[in-house]
Amino acid sequence: MTQDPTVELFEFQEKRLKYRFKHPELLKVALTHPSFCAEQKHPPPDNQRLEFLGDAVLELVLSDLLFERFPDLPEGELTVLRSVMCNKNALAGLAAKIDLGSLLRLGKGEAANGGRERESILADAFEAVLGAIYCDSGFDGARGCCARLILQFMPEPRELLTHANPKGALQEAIQSRDSAPPTYRLVEVRGPEHVPEFEVEVCVNGNALARAVAGSRKQAEKMAARRALEAMNDGPEKND
């Protein structure tokens, strides 16, 4: 038997958001995709305006959280961290963790074509929900909910940064040790011309840190940087 939508929304607030709306109609709008409205004779409001608001709220909330959590980080690194945490992939991941897709009101075509798992739809819906919370209880409510979800479901910000931009993270780690920036050397290109493999080595002060092989030089450099970071984190300095 299908669960009562009202009960389902209540459980979503209590168990997943851990936030109860004073004005539940805001949540309903946040979960309404434009494709649903397009199929209605008397279309309700869709979530695009709340998404617009939530995008701005999220940037401010994350700026505030990162500023508080990392008091020693310079502006440039804070900006990169915020960008990584705000991107569609990260937001869609958060939305999936709280099963937001199951509650979305989608058009029949969109639902049939996998809309409930589509990254862009999930990310936009997450922003819309955050915008709805802001309308419901202001900045403090939005900040509290966002902080809970990030602490519960999102990887540690530096881990996100390493995954998204390992070359930048490696350069930051190397420079923090007063070493010259890392360099990348193409060791070999092998395989048939239509599917080449690029082997790349990352070095610091002429010393090799790691190697990697991938289908493009750019990807091989990223993989080599990630392996170098893993090796550095597992080295003797980790326990100093």
Catalogue the active-site residues: 55, 127
Sign of the torsion angle spanned by Cα atoms 62, 68, 69, 72: positive
Strand ranges for the chain from DSSP E: 183-190, 197-204, 207-214
User: Beta partners for 133?
Assistant: none
| Distance (Å, whole) CA 52 – CA 30 | 11
| Distance (Å, whole) CA 201 – CA 81 | 26
Look at residue 139 and give its three-state secondary structure: helix
Q: What tokens appear for 231 in the block?
A: 């090796």
Strand ranges for 47-174 from DSSP E: none
